[in-house]
Amino acid sequence: NAGVTQTPKFRVLKTGQSMTLLCAQDMNHEYMYWYRQDPGMGLRLIHYSVGEGTTAKGEVPDGYNVSRLKKQNFLLGLESAAPSQTSVYFCASSFPLQGIYEQYFGPGTRLTVT
Amino acid sequence: AQSVTQPDIHITVSEGASLELRCNYSYGATPYLFWYVQSPGQGLQLLLKYFSGDTLVQGIKGFEAEFKRSQSSFNLRKPSVHWSDAAEYFCAGQNSGYALNFGKGTSLLVTP
């Protein structure tokens, strides 16, 4: 049982390049999330999904797209990377238990855009 | 707006001393609240959560937190800190959807 995994762990992009971050979970969770973490800002929600084939915008969605074609995978795409997207990206998954969505986090992807 | 605030950006504690990390929330109803810990270069690990009932919640690694409605607080405590507790700590509240609102974090430094 690997929990939540993220690939890649590190990546350096040039401005304007594109890339996709992959999140996978083996806990059969319905809900998945992408956050970004910046110094002094805590974690901010980018996009989330409440089930296969569904996605929704979070607090800071601009410049990102997501897809949830399979229940276990949640992809985060950057179509044209900008230096402002330099950050650590965390994926999480959850399931409701008595109305509580306790989230399980992946190890993160550190992205640098030059 | 629903939010969580951690007033302290950095906290320094001597090893063996007690610890209290502050968290204040702003929610219309009683929120579901969480404390997570992040060790350097790692993901977030859940320490404990509160959703109802007993206002003193026990978590992993010897941590506990007390929910105080009158003060809109959910402070994290540990009676005796170990050097391995040095990490970033995040308080979070579940919003009206399915996601969490995170505080900006408190960085804990433990000195010998």
Closest residue by Cα to residue B92 from B107, B81, B102: B102
Say whether A33 and B51 touch across the interface (CB within 8 A).
Answer: no
Residues A14-38 have pLDDT tens digits of 999 999 999 999 999 999 999 999 9
Contact B99 A33 (CB under 8 A): yes
User: Would residue B54 be called left, alpha or beta, if left means φ above 0 and alpha means ψ between -120 and 50 degrees?
Assistant: beta
Q: What percent of chain B has pLDDT over 70?
A: 98
Chosen from A43, A48, A54, A105 to mutate, greatest number of chain B CBs within 10 A? A43
Residues B24-71 have pLDDT tens digits of: 999 877 789 999 999 988 889 999 999 888 889 999 999 999 999 999
Q: For A56-66, how does the pLDDT look when each residue is reduced to its tens digit (9 = 90+)?
A: 999 999 999 99
Whether B102 and A90 lie within 8 Å, measured CB to CB = no
Distance from CA of A47 to the nearest CA of B (A): 10
Task: For chain A, report the end-to-end CA distance as a whole number of angstroms.
Answer: 36
Rounded to whole angstroms, the Cα distance separating B37 from B12 reads 16
For residues B57 and B66, the answer to whether their CB atoms sit within 8 Å is yes
